[in-house]
Amino acid sequence: MTKEAQAIANQLGDIPLNSETLEVEIQRLNRKTFVPVEQVKTLHEWLEGKRQSRQSGRVVGESRTGKTMGCDAYRLRHKPKQEPGKPPTVPVLYLQIPQECGAKELFSAILEHLKYQVVKGTIAEIRHRTLQVLKGCKVEMLIIDEADRFKPKTFAEVRDIFDQLEIPVILVGTDRLDVVIKRDEQVYNRFRSCHRFGKLSGEEFKRTVEIWEKQILKLPVASNLSNKTMLKVLGEATGGYIGLLDMILTRGRNSSVEERFIED
């Protein structure tokens, strides 16, 4: 098999390297991009209401609808502050947790995101240290993405963060999060308030395609992506998921860029 593979590689030759101009264009398109679509604005208004009223809740939606980007963008709108000799002030802390996340993994993730050393010791000691750091950094909201990865008992730890510090906690996940959280009535009651982050449709889908074309793809000539025929094709291909829309449009743009430079 190795000899056959080597023979094919020799016959085809080395894959040509991209030109510097092409590489810059591809990297630009591959960067994570955020556009202020209406559903993200609505999400931010909901989150801000929870932060100011100190109420916990959850954000639920199917994969690739843009929940993660929307929540992270909200964090970026609340910029941290650092004064010499003082702990950083972090109004909104956003983190993604690992698979099978227990109490120790949760507290370690919080400390790491706040740039504090993870202490060794019992769960009680790590918990105490984490609560001290959250209070010292004046965290006003904790957003936890992929929250369905929590071990069942860890939800109680999250609930206690709110109970002890009055920091609203927002759990983010798919419908699986709803299934998991409803198993414990006390936990569910803490996070009963829910914002559903849905798919794009109708005029909102059209506006998003237009934004992608003008602000992200920056096509050299008109592509007519927002005409009736193309919208139908994109709608059927993406199902209204903003993540799939981004993947299809940027991947297609990468291909056309590559072809253009090869022709040149």
| pLDDT attached to residue 36 | 47
Give the pLDDT band (50/70/90) at residue 29: very low
CA-based torsion, 198, 110, 165, 157: positive or negative: positive
More confident residue, 58 or 30: 58
Q: Is the pLDDT of residue 242 over 60?
A: yes
Mean pLDDT computed over every residue of the chain? 79
Residue 261: pLDDT above 50? no
140, 121 Cβ separation under 8 angstroms: no
Instruction: Quote the pLDDT of residue 253.
Output: 47
Check if the beta carbon of residue 172 is closer than 8 Å to that of residue 59: yes
pLDDT at 250: 66
CA 163 – CA 119 distance, rounded (Å) = 23
In the β-sheet with 141-145, what is the strand arrangement from edge to edge? 92-96, 141-145, 169-173, 57-60, 194-196
Q: Bigger pLDDT: 204 or 89?
A: 89
- Catalogue all structural domains in the chain, each as residue range(s) with its CATH number: 19-35+200-263 (no CATH), 53-196 (3.40.50.300)
Confidence class of residue 263 from pLDDT cuts 50, 70 and 90? very low
Distance (Å, whole) CA 82 – CA 57: 29
Measured distance between the N- and C-terminal CA atoms of the chain, rounded to whole angstroms: 37
Q: How confident is the model at residue 70 (pLDDT cuts 50, 70, 90)?
A: confident
What's the pLDDT score for residue 40? 83
Structure tokens at 167: 């920091």
Least confident of 77-86, 147-156, 197-206: 197-206
Percent of the chain at pLDDT exceeding 90: 38
DSSP string, 54-74: T--EEEE--TTSSHHHHHHHH
Model confidence at 97, pLDDT cuts 50, 70, 90, reads: very high
Structural tokens at position 53: 């009223």
Nearest-10 Cα torsion for 59, 196, 75, 156: -10
- Here the tokens at position 139 are 């965290």
pTM for this one? 0.68
